[in-house]
């Protein structure tokens, strides 16, 4: 299927690992030029060079923590200087949490609010004007099944991801008249390096069967009985970036292996 994405330009936050990296590779395979952002500058540079060599596209980087306004400003400036604006924005940067509401301090709430919500707000404010000049665009938010079906050990993650979905819906309504489509993807269990790291830590004192631990998680939560690969989630993002998804506006798409227990 020709997705007609060749020659477009995209910003991807959290683009050096996991789902963000898989989206970068998927878009690059379609001929999309990339501006990748992540906190680890060395890893970001390595992946940018690898993707550019593998797919023959232009790949720029803007290292920084998008929970900080200055990092967002740097992305917007680099998008303008490198590509004259972009056609696609993937708000993917994020991370899980672990706390109780009664014990979590304000600064932890503030960090996750800035990372999951305000980064998306600020990037929209910075990049949408350029999308309008280019005739339209696509904005996708990587939220989580936890936005609708929370996990008890990470209330801050649940709350901020739910807020991201609501922001996405409101932004979709505001910019659809400018030919900009906004949607959300809510993944379930995805085999990212964070999940592997956590599983290894949890099983270090009991034999180290981290793979068995992850399988037990999949057995408990996902009817499909396995984790998704990052590439499986990226495939949906890439499709939603294309005009093949031209009637998809303001929606939240679940890619969760049946994990969501409601309809």
Q: What residues are labeled active site? A: 157
Instruction: Provide the 3-class DSSP secondary structure of residue 94.
Output: coil
- For residues 16, 18, 24, 30, the Cα torsion angle rounded to the nearest 10 degrees is 150
Instruction: Work out the end-to-end distance of the chain between its first and last CA atoms, rounded to an integer number of angstroms.
Output: 30
How far is Cα 260 from Cα 185, in angstroms, rounded to an integer? 13
Beta strands 137-142 and 33-37 are: unpaired
CB within 8 Å of 242: residues ≥ 6 apart? 3, 4, 5, 30
How far is Cα 236 from Cα 256, in angstroms, rounded to an integer? 12
Are 171 and 122 within 8 A, CB to CB?
A: no
Instruction: Provide the 3-class DSSP secondary structure of residue 59.
Output: strand
Tell me the two tokens of residue 50.
Answer: 């690898």
> Angle, to 10 degrees, between the axis of helix 18-29 and the axis of helix 230-241?
50
Tell me the two tokens of residue 51.
Answer: 């993707």
- Between vectors from CA 186 to CA 108 and to CA 143, what angle results, nearest 5°? 30
């Amino acid at each position: 299927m020709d997705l007609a994405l060749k020659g477009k330009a995209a910003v991807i936050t959290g683009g050096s690992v996991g789902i963000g990296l898989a989206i970068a590779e998927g878009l690059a395979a379609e001929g999309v030029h990339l501006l990748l952002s992540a906190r680890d500058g060395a890893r970001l540079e390595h992946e940018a060079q690898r993707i550019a060599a593998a797919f023959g596209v232009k790949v720029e980087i803007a290292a920084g923590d998008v929970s900080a306004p200055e990092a967002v400003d740097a992305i917007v400036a680099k998008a303008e200087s490198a590509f004259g604006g972009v056609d696609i924005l993937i708000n993917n940067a994020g991370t899980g949490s672990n706390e109780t509401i009664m014990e979590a301090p304000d600064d932890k709430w503030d960090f996750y609010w800035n990372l999951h919500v305000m980064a998306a707000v600020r990037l929209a404010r910075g990049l949408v004007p350029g999308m309008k000049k280019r005739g339209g665009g696509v904005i996708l938010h990587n939220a989580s099944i936890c936005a609708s079906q929370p996990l008890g050990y990470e209330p801050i993650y649940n709350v901020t991801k739910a807020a991201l979905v609501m922001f996405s819906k409101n932004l979709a309504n505001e910019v659809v008249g400018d030919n900009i489509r906004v949607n959300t993807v809510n993944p379930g269990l995805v085999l990212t390096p964070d999940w592997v790291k956590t599983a290894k830590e949890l099983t270090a004192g009991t034999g180290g069967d981290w793979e068995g631990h992850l399988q037990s998680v999949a057995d408990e939560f996902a009817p499909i009985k396995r984790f998704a690969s990052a590439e499986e989630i990226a495939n949906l993002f890439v499709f939603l970036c294309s005009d093949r998804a031209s009637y998809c506006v303001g929606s939240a798409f679940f890619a969760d292996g049946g994990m969501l227990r409601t309809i």
